[in-house]
Amino acid sequence: MTLDLAVHPAPAPLADDARAAILADPGFGRYFTDHMAVARWQDGAWQDAEITALAPFSLHPSAAVLHYGQEIFEGLKAYRHADGSVHLFRPEKNARRFAQSAERLALPVLPEDDFVATVAALVEADAAWVPTPRDASHEASLYIRPFMIATEAFLGVRPSQEVTYSVIASPAGPYFAGGVQGVALWVTEQYTRASRGGTGAAKCGGNYAASLAAQAEAREHGCDQVLYLDGEEHAWLEESGTMNLFLVTDDGELVTPSLGTILEGVTRDSILDLAPDLGLRTTERRVSLAELRDDLASGRVREVFAAGTAAVITPVTAFRGRDAATGDDYEVTVGDGAPGTTALAIRTALLDVQYGRAEDTRGWLREVVPA
């Protein structure tokens, strides 16, 4: 840790009973903990790092982030184990990706150990906000959102010379309240998420701003999420915009689109690492939409799922889209239209490590609050 991190406990944290009421049904992203981490970059150096009471920011109306979107973020979770201890899952992967996103958005790089230390210090300060799962089938965690914004008051177009880094946290309940359900993906012809040389591999707010119209288009077609194709040929599967994509074949191969313009998910990487334990062969390669449609029709592809920190694994049970050649809408069902057994097995294997129910043989957990 190169940052000198001061800890100023919130003078008026939420009362125990009010917090307990929130933790009983937190939903996602609706409630926030008592503290936040903040550090400022000014005169070419990180300074004023502190854990302090959660409070609104004051920004000059000309702050660069408000005009040119110079912003990046991360998403990870803290998990409470049965013995009461609290753990982060591979936070150094998020730290690395945050540094890469910063480079792409011309923001100053926060040293990776400072990223992990500020996240850990926030979870320590807000340990009471980490939910306790009711049993092994219940998911409840503290979602952590580190981010960085350009705060310099200046309307010229160049990298901001003043930046704020912050970490906030929000308790999260099960993503699927009534058990894991499959989603339908809309294969958008109209929009692309990323192109070569763009910001697809960076976790930046601008990518999400551009995804909202596509998401609305998906909803109009009765779909929950979007499946993006590549920007150049509009032929190759990329990802679903907040989650990476996986296919399971009838002979035990787990296929995922190669890196490049997609976001390199920590969940994606962890699944590729865990899958051989479940008897799967893993392949990272380009997969075309035409190939996917053929292989779904023939039964060669048995399952499809999407993966990301928030929902862990989401089974994909159908695709809808507009056929470029005929102009007609099509719908393809995946397997028998129900969540696949392989997706559910991988989901359980990952959750068991995160919640301490399986041995952490890969050293993925970092304890931040002892039992």
Q: Residue 333 in 3-state DSSP?
A: strand
Segment interacting with ligand PLP (CB under 6 A) among 58-66, 107-115, 138-146, 262-270: 262-270
3-state DSSP assignment of residue 17: helix
Residue with tokens 């008051």: 153
Does 146 interact with ligand PLP (rule: CB under 6 A)? no
The whole-angstrom separation of Cα 162 and Cα 165 is 10
Considering the complex, state which of residue 244 and residue 249 has its C-beta at the smaller distance from ligand PLP.
Answer: 244
**Is 272 within 8 Å of 313 (Cβ atoms)?**
no
Q: Which residue among 265, 315, 321, 339 contacts ligand PLP (CB under 6 A)?
A: 265
Query: Which DSSP letter does residue 129 get?
Result: G
Number of residues this chain uses to bind ligand PLP (CB under 6 A) = 14
One residue of 70, 192, 244, 354 binding ligand PLP per CB under 6 A: 244
Residue 115 C-beta: closest distance to ligand PLP, Å = 14
Question: Looking at 80, 203, 302, 347, which residue binds ligand PLP (CB under 6 A)?
Answer: 203
Tell which one of 27, 69, 75, 198 touches ligand PLP (CB under 6 A): 75
Which one of 50, 162, 238, 239 is in contact with ligand PLP (CB under 6 A)? 239
Q: Does 242 bind ligand PLP (CB under 6 A)?
A: yes
| 172/263 with CB nearer ligand PLP | 263
Q: Which amino acid is at 67?
A: H
Q: Give the whole-angstrom CA distance, residue 221 versus residue 55.
A: 40
The nearest distance, CB 159 to ligand PLP, in angstroms, is 22
Identity of the residue, 80 or 97, whose beta carbon is nearer to ligand PLP in the bound complex: 97
Q: What angle do CA 16, 20, 24 make, to 5 degrees?
A: 175
Nearer to ligand PLP by C-beta: 166 or 207? 207
Is residue 308 a contact point for ligand PLP (CB under 6 A)? Answer: yes
- Site stretch for ligand PLP (CB under 6 A), options 45-53, 58-66, 129-137, 237-245: 237-245
H or E segment at 102? helix 91-104
CA distances to 71, 114, 239, 368 from 271, in Å = 28, 27, 15, 24
Q: Give the whole-angstrom CA distance, residue 270 versus residue 92.
A: 13
Please state the closest distance from residue 90 (CB atom) to ligand PLP, in A. Answer: 9
Q: How far is CA 141 from CA 103, 144, 178, 181, 324, in A?
A: 30, 9, 17, 20, 42
Rounded (to 5) percent helix, strand, coil in the chain: 25, 30, 45
Under the binding rule (CB under 6 A), the answer on residue 71 touching ligand PLP is: no
Residues that bind ligand PLP (CB under 6 A): 75, 203, 239, 241-244, 263, 265-268, 308-309
